[in-house]
C-alpha cells in the first residue's frame, strides 16, 4: 500500500502555519472567505455539467477514465506534496526546495535577452528580508499576482545576481484554507490540460457527494477491522488532516478492494466445487501409454502438473487451473495428456488460441501426440474453407470428433459440441472475459477449464489475481534446449549487428525481425513493419530473402508466408508485434527486436522464446530506439535473466504490481490503492471474506455489498 512520507506532520492550514523546527510563525493570515454554496450534484451526473468543465475539458477527463462525478471522486492521488514547513525569507538556503510566506512588493514582466522567453518576476519581502520569484514563459501570471498580495510559495531556491530567487515556484494566496501550498497536497494522475492544481479545485467542492455514496462494507465489518466509512476515507485521501488519518483512509480503501476481490473469488470457488461438472476418470494406464509413446522424457515439472490436472478433472466440481511455463517448456504436451484422458472418458476437448498461427501450431502438435492413440484433432479458424468448416461442425456436433482446436471461431453460435468435457485456452489474457465464458458454456455441464500462459505471474501476486484458480508451474525446460543469449544493441552498434546477421545467414540460419507499434493511429503497426521490410530488403540486406508478415493480411496469406519461412525459403521474417509468431522454426537462431524498450518484459521474453528451438546456438538482439535510464534497466534485466518467472519478479521490482499485472486484462475492476504485494492485508481480507461467506453465502444481509459484486460477476461466472 502506498504510504505517506514520515516527514508529513500536519496538513491542516488554519490561520497561521508554524515551523516546528525554527519556531517561526508567519503573520496572521487573512481569514478564509467562505465560498458561495453550490448545489451538490448527483454522483452519476456527467462531469461536463460541473462549473468550469466544458466539452473540451470533459474530453480530457475522459482520457483519465473520468466521466461522472463518482469517477472524479475515485480519481485518487498517486502521491502527496508536503509544503507545510513554512520558513521566513531569512532562512532560505540555495539548492533546497523550500516553502515561504511573503508579501509581494511589485511585479514585472520582460523578455530574456538571449532566448527571448517571457519572464515574470515578483519582488518579495518578509520581516525586513527580501527575495524574488521568477516564472518562465507564463506571461499570464503578471495579471494574477499583484503588489500587496500575501502568498505562500514553494520551489527550488537559487542564488542569483540580486540575491535569492525561487524559480518557477508553486504559489497560492495565503488564507485560512490552503488547497495547493502550505499543506499536504494531493498529486493526481494527469493529462494535458488537466493538472493536479486544477483537479484539487474541482474535487474539493464535490466531497459532500461522498456522503450520499453507498458503502459496500457492512458497518459490523468496519467496526471489527477498525476502519472508517467510505465517505470519511475519500475526504481524507483527497485532503488529509494528518498522516495518520491518511494512512487509515488508504488502508480502508485498499481493504475494500482486496475484500471484494477475495469475496468474489471464494464465492465462485464454493459454487464451482458444489456444482455439477464433467468428471473425467483418472485412468493410470491411459496416462502411462501416452508417456511411453513420447519421443522424449517428460520433465519433473510436466509430470507434477499433469498429475495435478488429471486429479482435478476426476474430482467433484469442474477444474479451474492455470498452467504457467516459459515458451518451450512443454505446456502443450501436458494439455494433450489431459485431452487424451478426456477422450478416454467419452468427452470432447476444445482448445482456443489467440491467433491462427498459434492455433495451427497447437493442431500440428496435438495431432502428432494424439494420433498414435487413435485420436484425430480438427482445426477451425477464420480462414477455414466453407466446405471444411461444415465437415468440422457436423463432426463435433455428432460427437465423432473429440478434439477441436481453433481461434475465436470456436465461440461462434454455429459451433455445437456434443459433450464438452475440457476447455483449454492458451494465453487467456488475449481473450475477453465474455469470450472465455462463451466457450465454457458450450457444454451441457460445466467443463473442466485449463488456461495456459507463457507470461508468468509472480507467485506473490497469484493469490490476489487467481483466488478461484489452482496454479501449476513448469519451471524446467526440456532436455537439449540451448539457452538463448540476449544482447542489448545500442544505436552505434547497429552495423556490427547487421554483420552478425549476415554471417549467421551465410551459415544457413534464419532470423525473425519484430517491429513495435510506432504510430498511435496505426494500431496494428503495419506501416512500421512495412517500412522496415522495405528498408531491410532494399538498403541493408539486398542479397537476402526477406519476407513480411502482419496482422492485416488474410489468414491464408499469413499461413503461406509463415510456411515459406518455416520451409527455409526466406532468410528474414519481418513481423509486427501483434502477430504471435507461434510456429517452431528450429533453423531460426536470431530474434531481432526493433525499439525493444517499447515492449513489456513479458513480451520480450516471449519473442526470445521463439528461437533456440534447434541444435544451433541462438541470440536475441534488443535494439534500443530511444535510450533512457528506465528503458536501459529493463532491457538489461531481460539480457541478464533467462527464466520467465525470474523476469516477472524483476519486472515487478522495476514497474510495480499495478503496471505488471494489468488487472483489466483479467477482466477485474481496477485496483486504485491496494498494494498487491501487501500479503498481510491480503490475508486479512481473505479471512474476512471467508468468514462473511460462512455467515451470508448469498450476500443478502447488506445490499450495497451485493451490488458491489456486479463488477466481478462476469469474471467469476457468478451470474
Residue 11 pLDDT level (bands cut at 50, 70, 90) = very low
Whether residue 526 has pLDDT greater than 60: no
**pLDDT of 81:** 86
Find, among 79, 3, 82, 76, the residue nearest to 247 by Cα: 3
Whether residue 410 has pLDDT greater than 70: yes
Q: What is the pLDDT of residues 451-498, one digit of tens each?
A: 998 877 766 566 566 667 888 989 888 777 778 899 999 888 999 999
**pLDDT of 655:** 64
What residue ranges define each of the domains in the chain, with the CATH number in brackets? 1-31+85-182 (2.40.50.140), 42-84+185-213 (no CATH), 230-274+681-711 (no CATH), 284-474 (3.40.50.300), 485-641 (3.40.50.300)
**C-alpha to C-alpha distances, 684 to 244, 251, 680, nearest whole angstrom:** 20, 12, 6
Range of weakest confidence among 29-38, 252-261, 322-331, 646-655: 29-38
Q: What is the pLDDT of residues 54-105, one digit of tens each?
A: 999 999 999 999 999 999 999 999 999 888 888 888 888 888 888 888 889 9
- Provide the grid cell at 615: 541444435
**Neighbouring-strand partners of residue 352:** 406, 425
pTM over 0.95, yes/no: no
Report strand pairing: 485-489 vs 510-515. unpaired
**C-alpha to C-alpha distances, 697 to 224, 271, 353, 587, 669, nearest whole angstrom:** 19, 10, 36, 56, 22
Outline where DSSP puts E strands in 381-453. 403-406, 420-426, 448-453
Whether residue 356 has pLDDT greater than 80: yes
**pLDDT of 14:** 32
Whether residue 621 has pLDDT greater than 60: yes
SS3 string, 550-565, reads CCCCCHHHHHHHHHHH
SS3 string, 458-483, reads CHHHHHHHCCCCEEEEECCCCCCCCC
Q: What is the pLDDT of residues 646-687, one digit of tens each?
A: 877 777 666 665 555 445 555 566 778 887 778 789 889 999
**pLDDT of 541:** 95
Whether residue 523 has pLDDT greater than 70: no
Three-state DSSP class for residue 412 = coil
563: Cβ contacts below 8 Å, ≥ 6 apart: none
Whether residue 210 has pLDDT greater than 70: yes
SS3 string, 297-356, reads CCCHHHHHHHHHHHHHHHCCCCCEEEEEECCCCCHHHHHHHHHHHHHHCCCEEEEECCCH
| Share above pLDDT 70 across residues of the chain, in percent, rounded to a whole number | 86
Q: How many other C-beta atoms can be found within 10 angstroms of the C-beta atom of residue 158?
A: 12
Range of weakest confidence among 245-254, 312-321, 513-522: 513-522
Amino acid at each position: 500500500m502506498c504510504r505517506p512520507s514520515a516527514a508529513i506532520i500536519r496538513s491542516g492550514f488554519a490561520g497561521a502555519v508554524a515551523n516546528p523546527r525554527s519556531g517561526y510563525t508567519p503573520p496572521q493570515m487573512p481569514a478564509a472567505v467562505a465560498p458561495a454554496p453550490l448545489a451538490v450534484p448527483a454522483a452519476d451526473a456527467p462531469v461536463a455539467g460541473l462549473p468550469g468543465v466544458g466539452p473540451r475539458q470533459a474530453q480530457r477527463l475522459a482520457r483519465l477514465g473520468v466521466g461522472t462525478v463518482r469517477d472524479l471522486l475515485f480519481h485518487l492521488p498517486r502521491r502527496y506534496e508536503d509544503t507545510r514547513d513554512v520558513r521566513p525569507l531569512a532562512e532560505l538556503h540555495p539548492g533546497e526546495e523550500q516553502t515561504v510566506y511573503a508579501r509581494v512588493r511589485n511585479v514585472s514582466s520582460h523578455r530574456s535577452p538571449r532566448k527571448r522567453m517571457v519572464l515574470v518576476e515578483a519582488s518579495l519581502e518578509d520581516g525586513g528580508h527580501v527575495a524574488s520569484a521568477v516564472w518562465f514563459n507564463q506571461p499570464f501570471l503578471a495579471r494574477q499576482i499583484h503588489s500587496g498580495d500575501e502568498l505562500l510559495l514553494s520551489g527550488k531556491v537559487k542564488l542569483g545576481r540580486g540575491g535569492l530567487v525561487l524559480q518557477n515556484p508553486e504559489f497560492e494566496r495565503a488564507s485560512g484554507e490552503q488547497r495547493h501550498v502550505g499543506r499536504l497536497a494531493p498529486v493526481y494522475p494527469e493529462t494535458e490540460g488537466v493538472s493536479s492544481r486544477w483537479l484539487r479545485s474541482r474535487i474539493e467542492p464535490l466531497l459532500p457527494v461522498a456522503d450520499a455514496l453507498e458503502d459496500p462494507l457492512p458497518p459490523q465489518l468496519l467496526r471489527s477491522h477498525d476502519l472508517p466509512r467510505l465517505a470519511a476515507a475519500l475526504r481524507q485521501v483527497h485532503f488529509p488532516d494528518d498522516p495518520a488519518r491518511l494512512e487509515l483512509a488508504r488502508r480502508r480503501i485498499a481493504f475494500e478492494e482486496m475484500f471484494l476481490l477475495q469475496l468474489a473469488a471464494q464465492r465462485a470457488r464454493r459454487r464451482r466445487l458444489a456444482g455439477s461438472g464433467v468428471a473425467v476418470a483418472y485412468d493410470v494406464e491411459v496416462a502411462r501409454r501416452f508417456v511411453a509413446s513420447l519421443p522424449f522424457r517428460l520433465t519433473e515439472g510436466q509430470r507434477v502438473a499433469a498429475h495435478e490436472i488429471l486429479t482435478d478433472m476426476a474430482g467433484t466440481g469442474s477444474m479451474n487451473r492455470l498452467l504457467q511455463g516459459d515458451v518451450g517448456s512443454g505446456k502443450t504436451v501436458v494439455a494433450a495428456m489431459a485431452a487424451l484422458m478426456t477422450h478416454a472418458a467419452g468427452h470432447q476437448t476444445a482448445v482456443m488460441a489467440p491467433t491462427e498461427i498459434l492455433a495451427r501450431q497447437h493442431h500440428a502438435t496435438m495431432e502428432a501426440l494424439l494420433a498414435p492413440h487413435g485420436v484425430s484433432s480438427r482445426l477451425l479458424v477464420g480462414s477455414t474453407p466453407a466446405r471444411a468448416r461444415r465437415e468440422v461442425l457436423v463432426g463435433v456436433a455428432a460427437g465423432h470428433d473429440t478434439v477441436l482446436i481453433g481461434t475465436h471461431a470456436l465461440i461462434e453460435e454455429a459451433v455445437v459440441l456434443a459433450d464438452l468435457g475440457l476447455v483449454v485456452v492458451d494465453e487467456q489474457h488475449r481473450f475477453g472475459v465474455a469470450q472465455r465464458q462463451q466457450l465454457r458454456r458450450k457444454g451441457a455441464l460445466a467443463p473442466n477449464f485449463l488456461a495456459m500462459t507463457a507470461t508468468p505471474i509472480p507467485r506473490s501476486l497469484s493469490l490476489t489475481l487467481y483466488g478461484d484458480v489452482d496454479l501449476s508451474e513448469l519451471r524446467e525446460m526440456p532436455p537439449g534446449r540451448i539457452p538463448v543469449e540476449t544482447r542489448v544493441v545500442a544505436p552505434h552498434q547497429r552495423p556490427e549487428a547487421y554483420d552478425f546477421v549476415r554471417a549467421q545467414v551465410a551459415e544457413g540460419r534464419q532470423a525473425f525481425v519484430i517491429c513495435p507499434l510506432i504510430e498511435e493511429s496505426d494500431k496494428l503497426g503495419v506501416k512500421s513493419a512495412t517500412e522496415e521490410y522495405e528498408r531491410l530488403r532494399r538498403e541493408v540486406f539486398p542479397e537476402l530473402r526477406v519476407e513480411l508478415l502482419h496482422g492485416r493480411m488474410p489468414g491464408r496469406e499469413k499461413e503461406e508466408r509463415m510456411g515459406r519461412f518455416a520451409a527455409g525459403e526466406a532468410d528474414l521474417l519481418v513481423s509486427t508485434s501483434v502477430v504471435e509468431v507461434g510456429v517452431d522454426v528450429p533453423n531460426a537462431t536470431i530474434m531481432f527486436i526493433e525499439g525493444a524498450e517499447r515492449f513489456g518484459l513479458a513480451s520480450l521474453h516471449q519473442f526470445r522464446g521463439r528461437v533456440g528451438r534447434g541444435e544451433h546456438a541462438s541470440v536475441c538482439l534488443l535494439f534500443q530506439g530511444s535510450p533512457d535510464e528506465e528503458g536501459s534497466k529493463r532491457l538489461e534485466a531481460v539480457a541478464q535473466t533467462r527464466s520467465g518467472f525470474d523476469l516477472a519478479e524483476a519486472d515487478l521490482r522495476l514497474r510495480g504490481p499495478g503496471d505488471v499485472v494489468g488487472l483489466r486484462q483479467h477482466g477485474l475492476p481496477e485496483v486504485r490503492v491496494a498494494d498487491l504485494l501487501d500479503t498481510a492485508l491480503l490475508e486479512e481480507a481473505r479471512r474476512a471474506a471467508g468468514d462473511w461467506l460462512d455467515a451470508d453465502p448469498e450476500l443478502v444481509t447488506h445490499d450495497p455489498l451485493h451490488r458491489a459484486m456486479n463488477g466481478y460477476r462476469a469474471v467469476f461466472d457468478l451470474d
